[in-house]
Amino acid sequence: MFSNQTKIILFLLVLFAIGDLNASTFLKDLKQVETSEMMLLVPENNIDEEPAYTEQQVKKAEKLLNGLQENIDKVKILLQVSDWYEASYNNPKTLEKAFYYAKDALRISQALHSNIYIGKCYLQLSMVHQLRNNDSMIEVTARKAIAVLSKTNQLDDLAEAWVMIWSAKMRARKPIPERLVPIFKAAAIFEKSGNNQRIGDCYREISELYFSYSDFNKSLNFLNKAVFFYKAAHLKEDEILPISSRLNIIYEADKRNRDIIRLKNTTLLQQSRLKNEVFLRNSMITFVVLLLIILGLLYKSYRFKKKTNIILETQQDEINKKNNTLQNLVVEKEWLLREIHHRVKNNLHMVVGLLASQAEFLKNEEAIQAINSSHNRIQAMSLIHQKLYQSESLSIIDMPSYIFELTEYLKDSFEIKNNIRFILDIDSFSLPLSHSIPIGLIFNEAVTNAIKYAFPNRVNNIITISLKAIDDENYKLIVHDNGIGLPPDFDPYNNPSLGIKLMHGLSADIEGKFLITNLNGTKISLEFTFKEHNLH
């Protein structure tokens, strides 16, 4: 059996259905936007296609609303009552009641998480704000309705929300292109729902907008579309007749506008011909005078140029001698730089040899590892200087070649053979010494740590190395292994390891963003910025 509350609801619905047929009914007025331009008429906001309430039904509903359970049925009744008061906007009190009931319906709909009725409530509030002349809130509530109704299949309500956006633009006297956007969207959604009459309404208003700034061709086109959809909606001939009359008006206006343009063009053409004749006569006189002046100037210029050429030839000889001297200096400078890089490389190799000799006399494993780490770091810098004196450019490093050779050196240094597979993905670009040395050292530390600590079992071991250009100025280095990852107590920002501190310090030197994370192994990434024009 039904609960008492359910019985009350059923009784109320039956009472509404068989209510007093002699009670005076209130027909809902069409809402019009308060601007000087023609506004699109908004149809009745029927809730689930239910008939509008009579005054008697509204009074009975208001008495019973407080006792009803907060569910969708109560939301429907609240919206019906709000809709009735909205249609009776003869004074501010009725609009205040319409606003109150719509807000109450919105509160319940939000509590029930019903997107359909949340959207309907926002749409109802937008219409009430329009009648209350609260222009700032018309578009705000309509856009909230659109955001919610877009998630539902309520196409007509969604289209009506776009109509309200259009109404707000019209009331605010926004530019014509800005008014056209929402009304076009409304027409497109009405076409999806098959609401022919509302499609015709939208196209009629689009026609008026184009007419307002004298685009008669588009205005005529869209008004023809409106008539087509009105006929598809089976409107009566007497309802379509005023629109047909409007077609004639636009057609005549378009014809008159073309005639005016044609007359203007004819007048302009005649004026242009007259001006051309006067201009041609004056030009001939001016041409003769200028020709005489030019001939005199040419003769004077010839004599001056002859004298100038003699001076320029003398100066050019001096410039050529200086250029040859400067070219020799540049070549000499380049050879000196090559010699410097070569000597630096040799000195670094000597340091590497001394470290290797020292390591043979050490018995402490930590000291030997420190010597080997320093050996690899020096080799990373030595390789850069080797690249510099072997390349045509003495200031920039080709990064793909450098990273590949450094990787091969580390593989040979640790004698890993095929135990670890390296995957390299390096973009083709060059960096100067100021960036290539820090990046080479960070790369050396990251790969060395991965080889030494990531693979205790040495099974299916992979180190992925990526150096990519994100855009023209930003780059990213990633060294990612699939090893055991970082220990649980590892703190990448407060670690006593020299290698970690070195990577942080080098990253700060080039103003890079350094990060160590656990991601199916250990992932070391460095993001840095370098502008190519700094190379020049």
DSSP string, 469-495: E-SSSEEEEEEEE-SS---TT--TTS-
Question: Which pTM does this prediction carry?
Answer: 0.42
Which of the two residues, 500 and 4, has the higher pLDDT score?
500
Task: Judge contact between 486 and 454, C-beta under 8 A.
Answer: no
Measured over the CA atoms of residue 519, residue 520, residue 524 and residue 526, the dihedral's sign is: negative
Q: Which of 14-23, 57-66, 115-124 has the lowest mean pLDDT?
A: 14-23
Q: Is the pLDDT of residue 148 over 70?
A: yes
Instruction: Give the model confidence (pLDDT) of 334-360 as tens digits.
Output: 555 555 555 565 666 566 666 666 666
Maximum mean pLDDT: which of 121-130, 208-217, 271-280, 514-523? 121-130
* 472: DSSP letter: S
Task: Judge contact between 445 and 372, C-beta under 8 A.
Answer: no
Please, is 170 exposed, middle or buried when counting C-beta atoms within 10 Å of its C-beta (0-12, 13-18, 19+)?
Answer: buried
Per-residue pLDDT averaged across 273-286, rounded? 86
Maximum mean pLDDT: which of 193-197, 254-258, 363-367, 440-444? 193-197
Which of the two residues, 432 and 464, has the higher pLDDT score?
464
Instruction: Please give the Cα distance from 138 to 130 (Å, whole number).
Output: 6
Per-residue pLDDT averaged across 167-183, rounded? 92
pLDDT of res. 334: 58
Instruction: Give the model confidence (pLDDT) of 407-463 as tens digits.
Output: 887 777 777 767 888 899 998 888 887 888 888 888 888 888 888 888 887 678 889
DSSP-derived 3-state class of residue 197: helix
Q: Is the pLDDT of residue 520 over 70?
A: yes
Token digits for 438?
């820090």
pLDDT of res. 35: 34
Task: Judge contact between 455 and 420, C-beta under 8 A.
Answer: yes
Per-residue pLDDT averaged across 487-493, rounded? 78
Q: What domains lie within the chain, and their CATH numbers?
A: 55-270 (1.25.40.10), 395-529 (3.30.565.10)
Instruction: Give the model confidence (pLDDT) of 494-503 as tens digits.
Output: 777 777 888 8
Tallying the residues shown for the chain, one arrives at: 536
pLDDT of res. 19: 35
Instruction: Give the model confidence (pLDDT) of 188-221 as tens digits.
Output: 999 999 999 899 889 988 988 888 878 888 888 8
pLDDT of res. 52: 67
List 421's β-bridge partners, or say none: 462
| Residue 50 confidence class, pLDDT cut points 50, 70, 90 | low
Instruction: Give the model confidence (pLDDT) of 292-344 as tens digits.
Output: 899 889 888 888 888 888 888 888 888 887 887 777 665 556 555 555 555 56
* Cβ neighbours, 10 Å, residue 469: 14
Instruction: Please give the Cα distance from 41 to 198 (Å, whole number).
Output: 9
58 closest CA partner among 29, 82, 34:
82
Instruction: Please give the Cα distance from 65 to 61 (Å, whole number).
Output: 6
pLDDT of res. 389: 52
Q: Which of 124-133, 210-219, 375-384 has the lowest mean pLDDT?
A: 375-384
Instruction: Please give the Cα distance from 436 to 424 (Å, whole number).
Output: 17
pLDDT of res. 141: 94
**Phi-psi category of residue 48: left, alpha or beta, with phi > 0 → left and psi -120 to 50 → alpha:** left
DSSP-derived 3-state class of residue 175: coil
